[in-house]
Amino acid sequence: MCGIVGYVGDKQALEVVLDGLRRLEYRGYDSAGVSVLDGSGLQVERKAGKLANLEELVSGRAMPGTLGIGHTRWATHGPPTDANAHPHVDCAGAVAVVHNGTIENYEVLVAGLEQRGHQRRSETDTEVVAHLLEERYADGPTQGDLPASLRSICKDLEGSFVLVVSHRDEPDLVVAARRNLPLVIGLGDGENFVGSDVTAFIAHTREARAVEQDQVVEVRRAGVTVTDLEGTVVDGDSYHVDWDTDAAEKGGYEFFMLKEIEEQPAAVRETLGGRLDADGLLHLDELAMSDEDVRGIEQVFIVACGSAYHSGLIGKYAIERWCRLPVQVEMASEFRYRDPVVGRNTLVIAVSQSGETADTLEAVRHARSQRAWVLAVTNTVGSTISRESDAALYTRGGPEVAVASTKAVMTQITAMYLVGLYLAQLRGTRDPDEVRAHMADLSTIPDLLTELLGRMEPVRELARSLKDEERVLFLGRHVGYPMALEGALKLKELAYVSAEGFPAGEIKHGPIALIEQGTPVVVIAPRHALQAKLINNVQEVRARGARTIVITTDGDASVLPYADDVISIPDTKSLLTPLLTIVPLQVLSAEIARARGLDVDQPRNLAKSVTVE
Ligand code: M6R
């Protein structure tokens, strides 16, 4: 969590840093701060609440200077107050530090610092770094050497961190360090950047370089030097970022989420693009496994969190159906703690939009330690999960800024189908004609999505009628079940409504007791083999007073007698229906949140990228 920016160049740093923080605010938004170095020293401003509060504080205030660092916070140690907002400074106000992560041994370090006379001004773990830097820069073998001071401190820190540091006596230097959490360098012309991700500097440069584990970066106007913790210079490749800058702007929409919902047809098109050869055979060279190894796979695990976990559940249906391989889908936060039976012939698929989710990353590390082959399915090129996996399949969804995952889930589900078909093709469980036919079905989805998105106004109207509900249930069967979970998660996180998703056949074993007169129950019932059973379930809940909201297929009248409200989607193959049923669920939750006057993009207590366990 937390967004970090560092800049040194010839522009006014305050503007560059605030602009970067605006783009990173999705990572955390309970307080924010900046520090700018001018001729007289470090100027630091911090404010609790969203970035807008900080912007108001500094507006009209002179903070000249062309070197600056900034931070937008998701609190871990200490509540989100002005005092706990970053940057933190040492006793003399000579060093400013911003930090993403947690320093696990900070209490021991604080005790030592207090004994040595340092005054603590916040409840954060971060502040210790400022005081330690004060000591090491002032004295001893690293005296007067900021990068060496930071390298030496990193050796004493336990936990996860990205640290970005500036010092009043170093007018041409920002220093940053990384362990376990993401840090990217932006390479400009006469100016250079560091940021939590490329959106921090994409408005200024598209040349980026990822910082690896336990590396320290010295950022100067003329260039950037990366070293390991011993000070040895480490070479690395830069890469070009081809994300469209407009994609990271709201483009006239009230919220990013609304824009990102509309971007889904194009996103799916991108995910599918260029995957077929002239013979209509699927190519997924990113999997990077030999045909022999693919044929040797005996089981598949899919590990992920939140909405990505729901995408993984769809992957299970697709891979089991097409490849006849056993697939287990695990919440990444549970995976490594129960000692799963994973070995050499196991394919582990880690699904993560950000590629930085701590739980998923740890699951990847665990799987690799067990000699499994790990494939990352991620949206973020150069992310930690993609780099630590054996191979990476990029979902190509473009930047997703809203905390709620929409086009990311959509493209993850699409990628799950691609993986399923590719494995089936290589293992010979589906013949090439069938793979071609499924790919042809998938290729119709973007147009169907465009059509569906064009008729969402009745769904928005329905959402407004639900705005005062405090509990909503979601039911589905087969691939509709993960979508029921996804619909419930979206409503919880966006509208703070108590919502649960169930397999429809399961409600009679307990959850049906939740139903009272008027309880809204959303049933995902597009036309497919289990629809008759779903209609029974709709009748069961309706008989107990539920208000039934049924998602069905165009032209299908079978469910109409039992539905209080109907949402109709275009027809497609039953296994692919999640790519369509998910859309009204997204629109419903966004509109309920909007009608309740909530911040659709930045729900309370959350952050986009969950980099703590
Ligand atoms: O970046 P990731 O895909 O690993 O994130 C996983 C979850 O944190 C994420 O999907 C979360 O559940 C979304 N906010 C849901 O909309």
- Find the length of the chain: 613
Instruction: Give me ligand 1 centre to Cα 305, in Å.
Output: 6
pLDDT value at residue 246: 64
Total structural domains within the chain: 3
**Residues 341 and 438 reside in one and the same domain:** yes
Task: State how far Cα 510 lies from the chain centre.
Answer: 33
Tell me the three state secondary structure of residue 57. Answer: helix
pLDDT value at residue 281: 85
Q: What are the CA-CA distances from residue 450 to residues 133, 268, 389, 391 (Å)?
A: 55, 11, 34, 32
Over range 30-49, report the average pLDDT: 93
**Residues 360 and 304 reside in one and the same domain:** yes
| 373-378 and 346-352 strand pairing | parallel
Instruction: Give me ligand 1 centre to Cα 224, in Å.
Output: 33
Over range 397-412, report the average pLDDT: 93
**Residues 231 and 295 reside in one and the same domain:** no
Report the C-alpha gap between 252 and 289 in whole angstroms.
44
Instruction: Give me ligand 1 centre to Cα 191, in Å.
Output: 33
Q: Which domain holds residue 21?
A: 3-249
Instruction: Give me ligand 1 centre to Cα 353, in Å.
Output: 7
Establish whether 47 is a catalytic residue. Answer: no
**Residues 495 and 515 reside in one and the same domain:** yes
Around 578, how many Cα atoms within 13 Å sit in the side-chain half-sphere?
A: 33
Report the C-alpha gap between 563 and 47 in whole angstroms.
50
With cut-offs at 50, 70 and 90, classify the pLDDT of residue 610: confident
Any bridge partners for residue 393, and if so which? 377
Q: Which domain CATH number covers 86?
A: 3.60.20.10
Give nearest CA residue, ligand 1 atom 11.
306
Plot region of 28 (φ>0 → left; ψ -120 to 50 → alpha; else → beta): left
Instruction: Give me ligand 1 centre to Cα 387, in Å.
Output: 19
With cut-offs at 50, 70 and 90, classify the pLDDT of residue 435: very high
Last-in-domain residue among 401, 418, 443: 443
Which pLDDT tens digit goes with each residue over 492-549?
999 999 999 999 999 989 999 999 999 999 999 998 767 788 888 889 999 999 999 9
Residues with CB under 6 A from ligand 1: 305-308, 352-354, 357, 360, 403-405, 489, 493, 609-610
Residue to mutate, 307, 582, 601, ligand 1, most ligand atoms under 8 Å from C-beta: 307
Torsion of CA 140, 145, 148, 149, to 10 degrees: 60
Kind plus residue range of the DSSP H or E element containing 67 = strand 67-73
Give nearest CA residue, ligand 1 atom 8.
306
Q: Is residue 255 part of a domain?
A: no
Q: Which of 2, 154, 305, 323 is catalytic?
A: 2
| 346-352 and 299-304 strand pairing | parallel
Tell me the three state secondary structure of residue 365. Answer: helix
Q: Is the dihedral of CA 479, 482, 486, 488 positive or negative?
A: positive
Closest alpha carbon to 46 in 110, 121, 103: 121
| CA-306 nearest atom, ligand 1 | 12
**Residues 467 and 537 reside in one and the same domain:** yes
Q: Which domain CATH number covers 303?
A: 3.40.50.10490
pLDDT value at residue 244: 66
Over range 186-205, report the average pLDDT: 95
Establish whether 2 is a catalytic residue. Answer: yes
CB 416, CB 317: distance < 8 Å: no
Over range 156-180, report the average pLDDT: 95
DSSP string, 218-280: EE-SS-EEEEETT--B-----EE----GGGGS-TT-SSHHHHHHHTHHHHHHHHHTT-B-TTS
Q: 119-128, 402-411, 564-573: lowest mean pLDDT where?
A: 119-128
**Residues 409 and 316 reside in one and the same domain:** yes
At residue 233, φ and ψ (nearest 5 deg) are -70, 135
Give nearest CA residue, ligand 1 atom 10.
307
